Amino acid sequence: MKILAVGDLIGVAGINELKNKLPQIREEEKIDFVIVNGENSAEGMGITEKNFKDILAQNVDVITMGNHTWGKKDIFKFIDHPKLIRPANYPKGVVGKGYNIYNCKNKKIAVINLIGRVDINVLSENPFIIAKDIIEKIKNQVDIIIVDFHAEATAEKIAMGHFLDGEVTAIYGTHTHVQTADETILDKGTAYITDIGMTGPKNSVIGMDIQASIKRFETTLPERYKIATGKCMLNAIVLDVDDITNKAKNITRIRI
């Protein structure tokens, strides 16, 4: 089983880059299942119904979210779509699903979305406790468990990796938009990477216009962010999962 996880799509530019590059990756890597983080697809904040449909049109299996889940009110029109999941540790009773189970090649794949609490301005429940509760609930129902941990702090992500080692097939970080070079198989068999990066304008500050970003830091004034223009890049990982053990055999970074 080959699973592709694509880093945060930045605006329409990121969606177009997915359209352009996904068919090639799917063919070359023999991809069976595709997960995409879409919480920045609406020009950097949230997701619209059009964004959602455009991403699904690329035969994507799951769209995960993050701290900008509610950035566009459009989301309430399709929040219950089975291919969309939002952080599972939002407060109890919040609309949408924090995880879902999918069928692929006679395997049941659970995808869980979590959000960090360190340096993220979102009032959420403890992701460690929520993750443990979900896994305990579903572990006998599924073959493969994949976790998208949308978090700022590297320490929080690394700790979560070790916390879930041996309990899930893979855990990867999103949110910081910078791909890290620490992909590994942890001691108990879980594939891990701190951040898979972003898909969007390459010549940018994490997808945003360079001069607007510099002005914010230089002057401390609330300069409006805007998506950068120009050539784009796609960041992702490929998980090679053993069909017998359901353990990750390999985790490979993609940066195109």
Which ranges constitute the DSSP H helices of 8-69?
A: 11-29, 49-56
* β-bridge partners, 152: none
Decide: helix, strand or coil at residue 219.
Answer: helix
Q: For residue 124, what are the contacts with CB-CB under 8 A and spacing of at least 6?
A: 87, 89, 90, 91, 115, 117
Q: For residue 238, what are the contacts with CB-CB under 8 A and spacing of at least 6?
A: 2, 3, 4, 29, 31, 250, 251, 252, 254
* Proportion of the chain in helix, strand, coil states, percent, rounded to 5: 25, 30, 45
β 191-193/170-174 pair status = parallel
Catalytic: which of 68, 150, 175, 177?
68
Q: Which amino acid is at 146?
A: I
Exposure letters 79-96 (e unless 16+ CB within 10 A, then b): beeebbbbbbbbeeeeeb
175 assigned to active site: no
Other C-beta atoms lying within 10 Å of the C-beta of residue 144:
23
The catalytic site residues sit at 68
